[in-house]
Structure 1
Amino acid sequence: MPKLSRRLFVLSAPVFLAGCMSSRTHTASVRPAPRVVPAYYQEMYAAKLDEAYPVAAADLTKVEPEFYRQEVDYPTYEPAGTIVVDTQARHLYLVGTNGRALRYGIGVGKAGLAFEGTARIQYKREWPRWTPTQDMMTRDPERYGHLADGMEPGPTNPLGPRALYLFKDGVDTLFRIHGTTEDWSIGRAVSSGCIRLLNADIIDLYSRVPSGTRVVVLQGDSDPVV
């Protein structure tokens, strides 16, 4: 088996989170047929009413099927239980055994793209509070200034129902893996934020990984597999 090739180095602190034309004659536009989502995935991403706050069903018509949660081949030297975040491919892998992994679709932002290397999940939170960074409050005080003491958990909280907090050598990286209600952002690089998963996916991932879990974040031309 060839040696694993990737760049893993100490992270630097994240820098922060048509014209119209008329005509007398025209051809009706052809709309693509709506995507048919298999019942298996509809059930996987159904609404969750047994949470502290209701979690709405994901709108999977806004998410490409490759970003639905699924088990895939993933040969790697990383031990089982490791989380590998491939920001370029927009995938998060929970490494399993026998060359397999559970793959989740992710959305990334400037905060997520500012981190590369290894870290540990220092702690986990269900329905966490969210506090904007000092940079965000300075840049846009009207929008964020009143949130200096944090935002209460709930359906509108940007962190969603779960969050994983990453530290390196005991220092908070300000890097989070969390949920989102913006289903359309999965598979994309959005304007701000860390690593976001569909709410059903972060609930699932949260249940599978303990505090102390090793997390490897790959950027650019990093290669996560052997």
Structure 2
Amino acid sequence: MTNRRTFLSGALAAAATTAVPAAAQQTFVVPDSWQPQVVDMPERYRPGVILVYPDRFSLFWTLPDGKAIRYAVRVGRGDLYEPGEYTIGAKKEWPAWTPTPDMIAREPERWGQYADGMPGGPNNPLGARALYLFQPHRGDTFLRIHGTNQPESIGRAVSNGCVGLLNPHMIHLYDQVPMETRVYLYPKAGV
């Protein structure tokens, strides 16, 4: 009988080898602790919700029966991480990317060259897939849950506000998450 862990491992292996072009696949050896795992949730959440715990560098996709899939993530550095409640307002495969004006102002030498945008692809900072976070009073918040081709950034607070997963893990999450999914970005400790 196939259990959830076997299914999850098989699905992620398939995503890593078939859904991402060879140029975008990581050669970095992913620690076992970063692999997605089906876990018991200490609190009951309805299935189909995304929860991000920045201090644990963890994203949970809730499942039935008090379970969730836990993904290792990176989060926004300093005050660029914005806790709050969001919904998925758009989903894109190999999304194009344009840095925000604030990003360019903070690091013009790094981001200024992309002021007109960058097409989607293996070198794009949004990676293989992106979920766009919206709020009713703001619309598109310019925050994303997206893939990354920088595995060394997982488990760190290094981004310009977005939540990042390894590309194969992001593909796995993306395929499960429908539009209008609720997303909760919990505050960092002491904030």
The TM tier, using the shorter chain, reads 0.7 to 0.9
How far does the alpha carbon of each residue in 1:113-148 deviate from its partner, in whole angstroms, 9 at most, with x for none? 531121100010000011111022233334322322
TM-score by length of 1: 0.71
How much identity, in percent, do the aligned residues show?
43
Aligned length: 181
User: How far does residue 175 in structure 1 lie from its aligned partner after superposition?
Assistant: 1.2
Q: 2:34 aligns with which of 67, 74, 94?
A: 67
- SS class of match (1:71): strand
User: How far does residue 158 in structure 1 lie from its aligned partner after superposition?
Assistant: 0.5
Give the aligned residue type for 2:172: D
- SS class of match (1:167): strand
Where do 1:89-104 residues align within 5 Å? 89-104=56-71
User: How far does residue 219 in structure 1 lie from its aligned partner after superposition?
Assistant: 1.7
- SS class of match (2:158): coil
Residue 120 (str. 1) matches residue 75 (str. 2):
no
Give 5+ residue unaligned stretches, structure 1: 1-39
Matches of 1:58 and 1:79 in 2, distance apart? 36
CA pair 112-163 structure 1, distance change in 2 beyond 3 A: farther
Flag as ranges the 4+ runs of structure 1 deviating above 4 A.
Answer: 40-43, 49-54
CA pair 94-42 structure 1, distance change in 2 beyond 3 A: closer
Where do 1:154-169 residues align within 5 Å? 154-169=121-136
Give the aligned residue type for 2:164: R
Matches of 1:220 and 1:50 in 2, distance apart? 33
What is aligned with 2:77?
A: 110
More helix by share: 2
Matches of 1:113 and 1:50 in 2, distance apart? 31
Matches of 2:147 and 2:49 in 1, distance apart? 19
What is aligned with 1:9?
A: none
What is aligned with 1:180?
A: 148
8 Å contact from structure 1 (residues 67, 91) kept in 2? no
- SS class of match (2:55): coil
More strand by share: 2
- SS class of match (2:56): coil
Give the aligned residue type for 1:187: G
Give the aligned residue type for 2:25: A
Where do 1:1-226 residues align within 5 Å? 44-45=12-13, 47-51=16-20, 54-57=23-26, 59-60=28-29, 63-110=30-77, 114-169=81-136, 171-190=139-158, 192-221=160-189
